[in-house]
Amino acid sequence: MTRRGRNGGPSAAGALLAGLLLVSGCAVPDDGAAPESTTRAVRATLDRRAAAVLAHDTDAYLATTDPRATGLRAAQRQELGNLADVPLGSWTYRLRGVTAQGTDRATADVELRYRIKGYDAAPVAADRVLDLRRDRAAGRWYVVGDRAGGDGARQLWQQGDVRVVSGKHSIVLGVGRTGQELRAIVRTADRAVPAVSDAWPERWAGRVVVLVPRTVDDMAELLGSAADYRGIAAVTTGRTGGAGRKPADRVIVNPQAYGTLGAFGQRVVLTHETTHVATRAHTSAATPTWLSEGFADWAAYRGEDRTAARIAPELADAVARGEPPTALPTDEDFGFAGDAARLARAYEGGWAACELIADRWGEQKLLAFYRAVGGHSGRDGAVEQAMHEVLDTTPQDFTALWRDYLRSALG
């Protein structure tokens, strides 16, 4: 399952020299805009702050924090300690704007961007809001507040000490999890990556970053969401659509739901989520959820010896009752809240649609169809055009074939 509804996704980018802070030109609102001198001083504070994180220099990091803010200093000392084992390739603050709060106070709207060395081709981005105070005697600005910005998400290192386990194709970062748990996830992720590359032979990073928080509530905090993820074993972050450089994906595991699965279920879950990472560049706002989730399930089950009825038990029951679906799943059918059986049928219906394409037209046509839909300028007409150009069919005829396929494969 991938988190949808925003623009973006992963893309290749060049290596960034350690310690270098890239900040954009300041674009601040007219009302309350800080003078350029203040903006330059804030930028210098962020420069020092970023360099200190990369150097794991606690004293230099705290030197940017107000000496009087004892609670904040204690929290940030802990956060930097929690990051100690994370192999950071870069850590930057992109300054979006500075708003003056009188002559000696300011608020900075920033985008934290960081990379895991050897794994992230593009940075992960997180919105932050920093409150600052000018100490005239010291001639510098200090951070007095650091909080989540527009996305509302916390970071893993804010939840506790981060344990890191690296594999051949994956790296797993966990909080409150044992080394044995994390090593098992690395082994499964290492198996998932080549399986995805075999199903999706397009160029992609060929590696995956997995986060394992302590609880399902911590998972929701990482996603900046109030949604109930209790029955969801894992979610892939990533912003679909848009243009230009796109942030790296993270697979976030719900330790409770994932832990209840057997080896087969865990393998399917991580292969499914890794497929989202691999296909991100070709997944856009034009891609319906039935296709993105169905393709991820198709890739996950592709190398497994399972009958259609075992892969799609809810739909098999519906067919047995004489109540097969009349239409492909809508985006709304994939919502987290509500009927769990409805959600299962949505995933199974998407898988069956992709399996039908692979079976009737061939795997190469399925890949071409996925690319064609994602490459369309918008949702309207995307599926219709791709079905016409790639499959030489119409949505109406395809839906009829899909319903026949459900009856024959699941009946």
Instruction: Tell me the per-residue pLDDT of 356-380, one tens digit each, with 9 for 90 and over.
Output: 999 999 999 999 999 999 999 999 9
- CATH (domain of 53): 3.10.450.50
Q: Please say which residue of 151, 183, 203 terminates a domain.
A: 151
Q: Which residues contact 150 (CB under 8 A, 6 or more apart)?
A: 127
151, 170, 191 — which closes off a domain?
Answer: 151
**For residue 151, what are the CA distances in angstroms to 96, 110, 116, 344?**
15, 12, 21, 28
Q: Are 175 and 214 in contact (CB under 8 A)?
A: yes
Sequence-distant (6+) residues with CB within 8 A of 351 are 294, 297, 298, 301, 311, 312
- When mean pLDDT is compared over 237-246, 307-316, 336-345, the highest value belongs to 307-316
Which of 151, 173, 206 is the last residue in one of the domains? 151
In the block, which residue shows the tokens 């986060």? 211
Mean pLDDT of the chain: 89
Confidence of residue 32 (pLDDT cuts 50, 70, 90): confident
Domain count, the chain: 2
Looking at the domain assignment, is residue 46 inside a domain?
A: yes
Residue 100 pLDDT class (50, 70, 90 cuts): very high
In a domain, residue 318? The reply is: yes
Strand-pair category, 170-175 with 88-100 = unpaired
118 pLDDT above the threshold of 80:
yes
Backbone dihedral angles phi then psi of residue 99, each to the nearest 5 degrees: -110, 125
Backbone angles phi, psi at 280, to 5 degrees: -55, -40
On whether residue 327 sits in a domain, the answer given is yes
Q: Among 292, 406, 322, 320, which residue's Cα sits nearest to residue 359?
A: 406
CA dist., res. 358 & res. 341, Å (int): 26
| pLDDT for 31 beyond 60 | no
Residue 252 and residue 234 in contact, taking contact as beta carbons nearer than 8 Å: yes
Selection from 333, 288, 292, 294 nearest residue 312 by Cα = 294
Read off the pLDDT band of 49 (50, 70, 90).
very high
The CB density around residue 97, as the number of other CB atoms within 10 Å, is: 17
Give yes or no for a contact between 284 and 380, defined as CB atoms under 8 angstroms apart.
no
Q: Degrees (nearest 5) of the Cα angle 235, 239, 245?
A: 135
> Does residue 34 register a pLDDT over 90?
no
How confident is residue 285, by pLDDT bands cut at 50, 70 and 90? Answer: very high
Q: Is residue 40 part of a domain?
A: yes
Q: Give the pLDDT band of residue 38 (cuts 50, 70, 90).
A: very high
Residue 152: its pLDDT value, please? 78
User: What tokens does 144 get?
Assistant: 């007095």
pTM of the model: 0.87
Q: Per-residue confidence at 122, pLDDT binned at 50, 70, 90?
A: confident
Residue 324 is assigned to a structural domain of this protein: yes
Could you tell me if residue 110 is inside a domain?
yes
- Specify whether the CB–CB gap between 188 and 291 falls below 8 A: no
Q: Which tokens sit at 357? A: 């394409």
In this structure, what token pair is assigned to residue 82?
Answer: 């929690």
User: Does residue 351 contact residue 301 with C-beta atoms inside 8 Å?
Assistant: yes
- Among 201-215, 230-244, 316-330, the range scoring the smallest mean pLDDT is 230-244
pLDDT in tens, 223-250: 988 788 888 999 998 654 444 445 678 9
CA distance 366 to 356: 9
Domain that holds residue 357: 285-411
Whether residue 361 is contained in a domain is answered as yes
- Choice between 173 and 21, residue whose per-residue pLDDT is larger: 173
The pLDDT > 90 percentage for the chain reads 80
Burial letters 155-186, b for 16+ CB under 10 A, else e:
bbbbbbebbebbbebbbbbbbebeeebbeebb
Given this model, what pLDDT does residue 247 score?
A: 64
Query: Is residue 380 in some structural domain?
Result: yes
Using CA atoms, how far residue 352 sits from 144, 195, 357, 388, in Å, is 54, 19, 9, 20
Give the confidence band of 93 by pLDDT, cuts at 50, 70, 90. Answer: very high
